[in-house]
Amino acid sequence: MRDNEFIHYDQWGSEMPRISKAPEERKQEIVEVALELFSEKGYENTTIQDIADRMKVATGLCYRYFKSKQEIFAATSDYYAKQIVEELHKNLPKESSTIEKFNFIIKALFEYAIKHNEFEASYQKEPEISARRVDHLAEQIILKMTPVVNEGIDEGIFHCADVTNTLKFLTFGIVHMIHYKMPVQNPRNHIVSFIPLIKEMCCCGLKVTCPEKVGIDWDDF
């Protein structure tokens, strides 16, 4: 079933030709537009009416797919986490050394948090959603980090008997530290303040044989 029973309007309020979209396509559009608005205005200052207006559709269309703004925010959070992982997968330098790949993944987390810092700060208003989303992000990062660490173990760069649980400890710790009380103002300073501790955690947890190479360019964002 498509959503062509909803009326679309132009910027002057005049009725436009009906645009028919499949349910999953329309639901994804709501999520993407909501991410834009939450990033621009924050969670508290964004309404479902704002989302509908940006999409140029009736408000009822949004309620057809989501029961509340909180439900939209939860879906937006999941989408946001997936975007980080997709960017990592696309941009990970496959021809680089193991340490370079490891550094890239950690730095990418910093860069993405800075890019969407206003959206990050919104999570303080929805702590339950924040915890779920941050945990989901950590789980996805672990999937990307595991083959890199295993590669480093084979090369004698890392020494770790329990890769899965070590990465859980490191990744959940790092991700939650970065996102805990993320400020809207000067988010870079917030992240940079944790870099020495994050480097120490990684070097100790993975027993890195070349600790001087861990964290290179982490603060270059």
Q: Measured between alpha carbons, how far is residue 84 from residues 46, 127, 144 in Å? A: 23, 20, 11
Residues 182 and 71 sit within 8 Å (Cβ to Cβ): no
**Residue tagged 């499949």 (tokens):** 22
DSSP assignment letter at 214: T
pLDDT value, residue 77: 80
User: What three-state secondary structure class fits 16?
Assistant: strand
Q: Which residues of the chain have pLDDT under 50?
A: 1, 4-6, 11, 17
Say if residue 78 is exposed, middle or buried (CB neighbours under 10 Å; 0-12, 13-18, 19+): middle
Backbone angles phi, psi at 5, to 5 degrees: -80, -5
- The kind and range of the H/E element at 68 are none
In the prediction, which pLDDT does 104 show? 94
Element (H, E) at 36: helix 23-41
